[in-house]
Amino acid sequence: MKKYLDLKNANDLTKLKEIAEIIKKSGIGIVPTETVYGIGANGLDEKAVEKIYLAKGRKQDNPINLLVNNIEMVEKVAKNITELEYKLMKAFFPGPFTIILNKKDIVPNIVTANQNTVGVRMPKNDIALKLIEYAGVPIAAPSANISGKPSGTDFKDIYNDFKDKVDFMIDGGESNIGIESTIVKVIDNIPHVLRPGSITAEEIEKISGKVILDYEKINNNIPSSKYSHYKPNSKCVLVYNEDNEKMIKEIKELAKKYQNPLIVSTTENMSNYDVKNIINIGSRNNLEEIAKNIFSTLRKVDEFSADIVIFEGVETKGIGIAIMNRLKKACM
Ligand code: TXA
Ligand code: MG
């Protein structure tokens, strides 16, 4: 790594000019966003984007989204943008919202894995926005994790995984939201949610009048859906029952069948389990807190050599939908 920047508590972001220079010279590195950290490079530079695929061990048929800092930059990379697509961007940019648009030729095929569409997001993070401004180009940035593993939200985890694989690292503190953006593609003037995130289908519906949920479908327009994701090393099971007492009972019975079970419990339920290995993922009454903790928890799980990991589920409403979506994928 050539350059490390600690901007956790910084007000002055001018040091990002040095990172922008690295980006202009085809360098790659770790960039904080409000959802999860990204591993970023100049999104218009084929050679640089190729390095991202190598560093992550990402399959080349899995496209990468672009981070932008204004609508003019969206218009540089995307064409035939419809009125509804503009409306959605106006409502949710900057924020945890990625929209799939028709790509322009300026975007290299390696970014989009040869598709004619490109995902675009304007992050709500001052460091990321300033860096894009200084670099003057969209930044291609998938989540900062080795492919298949949990996304990175804690700088320490990312540091260990990537210090030898990137040119720069920016520590921006813990990711605010902790779960990746909601991905939407407008098809026949109806938004389809391809990946749930903290912007919910209800919020999208308020803008568009209609919304279609595609994320549980097998062929859901997301190229990566055929790959496993977020997987801990141990076998894992997700248990949910809307009756909390029943859920605890089910988990206890399941744990009894194993020698060395690990339970990932919510704060309120911790004292109900009589096992050696237990992790607190956050309060059931504060799903935002659970979202923030989910990926660091999925990484922590690997420190126990458990013969089974049992996750408590949460109610599938609001951001709970995205939480359950990630936990289901982890346990698939
Ligand atoms: O919050 C986020 O979106 C984070 C931060 C870093 O911005 N990024 C992120 O990137 O989660 P990644 O690459 O881990 O996930 C992006 C997903 C992948 O599943 C990819 O297959 C899908 O978006 N994707 C990218 N381009 C697409 C396209 N043109 N059509 C459909 N899906 C696309
Ligand atoms: Mg990812």
Tokens matching residue 270? 């911790």
Ligand 1 and 319: CB distance under 6 A: no
Which is the closest atom of ligand 1 to the Cα of 225? Answer: 19
Q: Which residues contact 145 (CB under 8 A, 6 or more apart)?
A: 56, 151, 152, 158, 161, 295
Ligand 1 and 118: CB distance under 6 A: yes
62 burial level (CB within 10 Å; 0-12, 13-18, 19+) = middle
DSSP conformation letters of 99-110: EEEEEPTTS-HH
Whether residue 218 is predicted with pLDDT greater than 70 in this model: the reply is no
Which is the closest atom of ligand 1 to the Cα of 38? Answer: 6
* Confidence tier at 2 by pLDDT (50, 70, 90): confident
Reported pTM: 0.97
Ligand 1 and 142: CB distance under 6 A: yes
Ligand 1 site-directed mutation target among 98, 115, 117, most atoms within 8 Å of CB = 98
Whether residue 143 is predicted with pLDDT greater than 80 in this model: the reply is yes
Q: How many helices (H) and strands (E) does the chain have?
A: 11, 16
Q: What is the pLDDT of residues 33-92, one digit of tens each?
A: 999 999 999 999 999 999 999 999 999 999 999 999 999 999 999 999 999 999 999 999
Ligand 1 and 184: CB distance under 6 A: no
Cis peptide before 94 (omega within 30 of 0): yes
Cα(158)–Cα(193) distance, integer angstroms: 28
Average pLDDT value for the chain: 96
pLDDT of residue 220: 64
Ligand 1 site-directed mutation target among 65, 162, 183, 185, most atoms within 8 Å of CB = 65
